Each structure stands twice: as C-alpha cells, then as structure tokens.
C-alpha cells in the first residue's frame, strides 16, 4: 500500500455519526444492495430522525430491517424506496412504509446516470486492499452507478464480506471515497433452506429435459432453481456455462460436481458471470478471491444483447400467474406488490437472442387459497390490478408440473390450447369454457 493511500485512509476514517451528519433534509441516500446491508450508518441515521425531514432512502432488495424506517413509522423523516421487494420490503410496503421502483434491471445503472441525483451513497465493502481499493463484495448491480453519481460516498467496512473478483466495477479506490466507517462486522445474510415440494421436483424434471451439454444457465431465486441445480449436479450434463444475475448455493454444487466449466461460452469463457450473490456461508467462502466467478454491474449481466452472445442460454424463472393470452405476472398479486420485475424480462429476451436459447417461465399449476381451497395459477385473465411482468409477445416456454409448451409463432387460440394442456386436470374444463366465452377457442381444439 502506498503512503498516499495510507494517508488518505487515515484522513478519511471516521464514525457512523459523522457519516449520518453528512445527510440533510430532502437528501436522497443510497443504502446498499442485497446481502450487503449497511448497519452502523443506518443506526446512526435513525438517531437523527428528529433533525431530518423528507430523506429518501434507496436500496435494492434490503434483507434486514432499516432502523431509520423502524424509528420513523410516520414517514415524516424517512421514505424508503426499493428497486426490488424482498419479503421484508413486501411487509413494509403493506404498511405503507416502503415503495417499489419499477425497472428493467439492465437499465438500472443508466436510470441512475440519467435521472437520479443521489446526495450520499453508503455502501458496505471489504477492508481496503494493498492497492487502495475497497471491494463491493457480493453486490455490484447498481452500487457502482450510485457511487459515481453521489455527492458524497461513504464506505462501511465489513471484515466478514468476501472479496468478489471482477468482472467490472467491482471495487472503489480510496481517492473516490469521502468517509470510511468501521461497521459491526456482522456475517452476511444467510438465506434459509427452501421447502421443496413434489410439484417443484416435477417441474424441475421437465426443465432438465430442455437442458443440454454446453447450455449457459440462469437460475432465479427460490425452491425450483435450487432443485434444478441439485438435479444438474447429479446429472451427466457437461460443460455448462453460467451467466446469471443471482449466484446462489446451487451453482457451487454444480461447479464442484464438475458440471460447470464455461468452456463452451462465447464470452467470459470459464467464468461464472453474475451481478449479486445471496446464499449460505458456503457460497460466500467459495466466492472469496475465486477467479472462477466474475461479478459485473447489471448493465452487463442483464443486457439482453450480452446474454444472447452466449450459446444455448436457458433462463429459468418463476411466476405467480399466467392468463390464457400468455401474459405472465411474476411480481404482484392484484394490487399487492410481491417482488419486482428483476431480471426476468432481461433474460427472457436474452435467451431468445441466444443460438439455441430457451426462456422458461416455470409455474405451479395450482395454489392453496386462504380458505384451504385450491385455485389455478393458469387463469382466463389476470386478476384486477395485477402487473404484467412478461408480455405475451415475449413469452417463449411455459413449464408446469404437467409438462411444457413453446409459445412462439402460435396464435391466441393455439396458446390457450397449449396452456390448458399443461394446466391441472381439475381446471381444464373450466378453462376451456372460459376460453370459449372470451372468443379465444376453436371447436377443433384438442385437450389432452
């Protein structure tokens, strides 16, 4: 480390209270992403609730409660805007304490550059290295864009955070930092194990039919991607590549099983490309200083044109509801915001651009209602107020536990027929009658 870097570090080292003092009424403050939860500055800022008004806090999928928001339930001092709801964001949103920011994920950094004016960026980082750089660790999707645009940049050091190699924009130099704060060094968030149902396993088996040697894979979050990853690890598939937004534990299992080599990728050969990581300590230990993986901003990982440069991209994502016109809802149930668009649309587009690519929308055919009754997730039209995540014109494959259907180049009645064929048998007759009532049915249609 140069003397200049050491001197800058000493000069810029301060307290969480000093960082909180940088923030003024009316400011917009970025507070980090995903597993990199700013803690010390959040707690210090919460203590200033009586001094501040109309401060906007921005996060991407905050995983731990914001003390600022908990200290100010009346929303006079702090307003929380989130680029993607977690379970926590959803709970706070239902109380009127959090708002969702719609986006196409790959456009996030550009949105910030063009249309945002953040006053302060507070981000959790690894300790400074010998070259004067702090690493953004597991969260790089929009953090670099906020650090470039903000009036002041505060880094909160966490010695427990893994050093995640790039890629691009994975670090920030001490010369670009205004204040360095030592955090409480809390271990990163550990995602709990997800419950795997037999329905998930059935869907996963159909997904496996669509994979082949040399596929470049993207898995979303949840039980289904985990079971797909486990099946891949135990399969005979060869030379898989990875280009994804989220890196999870299942990728570690696939890599260690020898299924992932990346050698057939057209770009970033041999690298598992991602923009954020969330999982268990196993994942974080695997990523620490590991050149097998490369972290990039979302403007790269989620750009459909970049995704499509790799061969045989198979994008595997979940949905909440799909209608007979093949409109896909993956982020809301009626007016209730559940999560966000995330990268689903980016990867559906990118997979279709890929030679031999497949964009999969995976959905359980049924769900259990609050009264215990079973409802169909394949519906005639989306529930009132429900947001369309993937428009029908872009839907490629739909997968349920009863099979899969390819939707490109199909008419409205052909799509309805294909969907009903993979719906739960108990709802097929009802869906046929509803399709006839809506005029998207032909008398010659055959239902299996």
pLDDT digits (tens, 9 = 90+) for 280-308: 999 999 999 999 999 999 999 999 999 99
pLDDT of 400-437, one tens digit each?
Answer: 999 999 999 999 999 999 999 999 999 999 999 999 99
Which of 154, 182, 210 is where one domain is finished? 182
pLDDT score for 72: 82
pLDDT score for 226: 85
Residues 384 and 242 in one domain: yes
Whether 353 has a pLDDT exceeding 90, the answer reads yes
Which of 182, 207, 223 is where one domain is finished? 182
Give the mean model confidence (pLDDT) for residues 101-108: 96
Residues 417 and 291 in one domain: yes
Out of 293-297, 310-314, 372-376, least confident range: 372-376
pLDDT score for 443: 61
Average model confidence (pLDDT) across the chain = 95
pLDDT score for 446: 66
- Domain range enclosing 103: 3-182
Residue 148 in any domain: the answer is yes
CATH number of the domain encompassing residue 56: 3.40.1080.10
Confidence of residue 76 (pLDDT cuts 50, 70, 90): confident
Confidence of residue 392 (pLDDT cuts 50, 70, 90): very high
Residue 174 in any domain: the answer is yes
Residues 110 and 229 in one domain: no
pLDDT score for 225: 84
Residue 447 in any domain: the answer is no
Whether 73 has a pLDDT exceeding 90, the answer reads no
pLDDT of 202-235, one tens digit each?
Answer: 999 999 999 999 999 999 777 888 899 999 999 9
Whether 260 has a pLDDT exceeding 90, the answer reads yes
Q: Which of 245, 321, 331, 401 is catalytic?
A: 245
Give the mean model confidence (pLDDT) for residues 49-67: 94
Residues 137 and 204 in one domain: no
Whether 84 has a pLDDT exceeding 90, the answer reads yes
Residue 443 in any domain: the answer is no
| Residue 106 in tokens | 């790959």
- Kindly state the percentage of the chain with pLDDT values over 70: 99
pLDDT score for 140: 97
Residues 397 and 355 in one domain: yes
Which of 182, 213, 239 is where one domain is finished? 182
Residue 237 in any domain: the answer is yes
Residues 93 and 39 in one domain: yes
Residues 168 and 232 in one domain: no
Between 270 and 447, the more confident residue is 270
Domain count of the fold of the chain: 2
Residue 445 in any domain: the answer is no
Give the mean model confidence (pLDDT) for residues 270-283: 97
Residue 188 in any domain: the answer is no
Residues 274 and 148 in one domain: no
Residues 172 and 219 in one domain: no
Residues 164 and 243 in one domain: no
Residues 176 and 204 in one domain: no
pLDDT of 188-202, one tens digit each?
Answer: 999 887 778 999 999
Query: Does the active-site annotation cover 245?
Result: yes
| Residue 59 in tokens | 């996060």
CATH number of the domain encompassing residue 361: 3.40.1080.20
Residues 267 and 158 in one domain: no
Residue 367 in any domain: the answer is yes
pLDDT score for 77: 94
């Amino acid at each position: 480390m140069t003397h200049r870097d050491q001197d800058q570090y000493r000069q810029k080292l301060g307290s969480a209270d000093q960082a909180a003092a940088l923030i003024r009424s009316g400011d917009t403050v970025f507070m980090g992403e995903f597993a990199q939860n700013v803690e010390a500055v959040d707690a210090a800022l919460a203590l200033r609730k009586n001094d501040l008004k109309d401060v906007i806090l921005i996060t991407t999928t905050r995983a731990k409660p914001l003390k600022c928001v908990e200290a100010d339930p009346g929303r006079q001092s702090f307003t929380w805007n989130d680029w993607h709801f977690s379970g926590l964001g959803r709970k706070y949103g239902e109380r009127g304490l959090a708002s969702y920011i719609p986006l196409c994920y790959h456009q996030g950094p550009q949105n910030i550059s063009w249309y945002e004016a953040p006053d302060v960026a507070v981000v959790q980082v690894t300790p400074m290295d010998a070259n004067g750089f702090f690493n953004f660790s597991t969260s790089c999707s929009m953090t670099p864009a906020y650090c470039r645009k903000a009036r002041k940049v505060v880094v909160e050091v966490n010695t427990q955070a893994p050093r995640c190699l790039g890629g691009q924009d994975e670090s920030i130099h001490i010369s670009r930092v205004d204040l360095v704060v030592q955090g409480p060094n809390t271990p990163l968030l550990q995602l709990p194990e997800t419950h795997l149902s037999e329905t998930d396993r059935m869907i996963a088996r159909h997904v496996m039919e669509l994979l082949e040697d040399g596929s470049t894979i993207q898995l979303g979050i949840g039980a289904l991607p985990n079971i797909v990853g486990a099946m891949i690890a135990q399969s005979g598939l060869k030379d898989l590549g990875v280009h994804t937004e989220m890196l999870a534990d299942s990728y570690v299992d696939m890599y260690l099983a020898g299924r992932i080599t990346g050698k057939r990728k057209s770009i970033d050969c041999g690298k598992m490309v991602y923009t954020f990581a969330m999982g268990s300590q196993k994942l974080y230990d695997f990523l620490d200083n590991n050149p097998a993986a490369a972290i990039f901003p979302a403007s790269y990982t989620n750009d459909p044109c970049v995704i499509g440069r790799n061969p045989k991209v198979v994008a595997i994502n979940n949905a909440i509801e799909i209608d007979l016109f093949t409109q896909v809802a993956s982020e809301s149930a009626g007016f209730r915001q559940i999560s966000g668009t995330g990268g689903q649309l980016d990867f559906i587009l990118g997979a279709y651009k890929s030679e031999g690519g497949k964009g999969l929308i995976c959905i359980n055919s049924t769900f259990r209602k609050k009264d215990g009754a079973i409802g169909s997730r394949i519906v005639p039209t989306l529930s009132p107020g429900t947001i369309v995540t993937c428009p029908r014109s872009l839907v490629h494959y739909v997968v349920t536990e009863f099979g899969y259907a390819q939707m490109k180049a199909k008419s409205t009645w052909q799509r309805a027929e294909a969907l009903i064929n993979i719906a739960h048998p108990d709802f097929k007759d009802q869906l046929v009658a509803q399709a006839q009532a809506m005029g998207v049915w032909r008398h010659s249609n055959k239902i299996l």
